[in-house]
């Protein structure tokens, strides 16, 4: 690997010229390695994929954090992001109490932050997270006072309320609740999606398991 400014064996800190070229134009990976005590980071060109890469470790093809291709498209393979949908429906949902919606099947989970057992997302770092949520319910009871889709987080509960009784119609066959919200979260804060029916009969069925024609999902990704 080409070195800049000082030799590999130099003990003192060195400087890099205002204009410097790394590599000689041949087919090889070129990189600058930041040699730390506990771990290394690198930045350079992966000649095999023709991408500019920032990553952990001293060799391309290991842990890549950021890649930029020849078209300027940047990807962050480890950026927290997940998409879950319903694998098992929930029938005759009880009234008067929160139901944790059964988002038990993942399409992806890049940083393993979503728990399919507790249906809970845990923020790995402090930041702003974009949540996209949708929930389809069937056999609604127009006698219910209201229905509520709730994103319950450590700092706040976000609600999507609907007073179906005010529609003045018989029991609807189905209804789709949805919510898009940017949430401030500290590291280890949690978020879970819940459903609530006030009064009426316990006749509502929630969700559908069709992955191809999906109408219930729970997604999030780290914005900043």
The 10s digit of each residue's pLDDT in 66-99 is 999 999 999 998 999 999 999 999 999 999 999 9
Q: What pLDDT is attached to residue 13?
A: 66
Burial of 103 (0-12, 13-18, 19+ CB in 10 A): buried
Note whether 97 and 194 are within 8 A (CB): no
| CATH fold group of domain 81-222 | Jelly Rolls (2.60.120)
Quote the distance between the C-alpha of residue 224 and its chain's center. 12
Q: What pLDDT is attached to residue 21?
A: 80
User: Alpha helices of 4-123 — where are they, by DSSP H?
Assistant: none
Q: Which of 63, 61, 23 is nearest to 41 (CA)?
A: 63
> Residue 7: pLDDT above 90?
no
The pTM score is 0.84
Please compute the mean of the pLDDT values over residues 189-203 and round it to a whole number: 97
Please compute the mean of the pLDDT values over residues 109-113 and round it to a whole number: 95
DSSP bridge pairs for 183: 129
Rounded CA-CA distance 45/68 in Å is 10
Q: Which of 173, 169, 118 is nearest to 143 (CA)?
A: 169
> Residue 218: pLDDT above 90?
yes
Domain ranges of the chain: 1-78, 81-222
């Amino acid at each position: 690997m080409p070195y800049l400014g000082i030799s590999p064996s130099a003990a003192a800190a060195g400087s890099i010229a205002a204009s410097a070229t790394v590599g000689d134009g041949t087919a090889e990976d070129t990189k600058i390695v930041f040699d730390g005590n506990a771990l290394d980071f690198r930045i350079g060109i992966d000649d095999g994929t023709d991408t500019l890469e920032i990553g952990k470790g001293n060799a391309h093809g290991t842990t890549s954090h950021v890649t930029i291709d020849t078209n300027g498209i940047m990807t962050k393979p480890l950026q927290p992001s997940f998409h879950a949908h319903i694998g098992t429906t929930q029938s005759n949902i009880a009234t008067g109490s929160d139901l944790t919606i059964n988002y038990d099947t993942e399409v992806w989970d890049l940083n393993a932050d979503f728990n399919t057992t507790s249906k809970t997302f845990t923020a790995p770092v402090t930041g702003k997270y974009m949540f996209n949520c949708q929930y389809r319910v069937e056999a609604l009871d127009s006698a219910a006072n209201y229905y509520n889709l709730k994103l319950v987080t450590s700092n706040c509960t976000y609600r999507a309320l609907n007073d179906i009784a005010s529609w003045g119609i018989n029991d609807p066959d189905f209804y789709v609740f949805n919510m898009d919200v940017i949430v401030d979260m500290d590291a280890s804060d949690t978020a879970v999606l819940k459903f609530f029916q006030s009064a009426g009969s316990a006749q509502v069925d929630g969700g559908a398991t069709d992955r191809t024609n999906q109408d219930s999902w729970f997604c999030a990704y780290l914005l900043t």
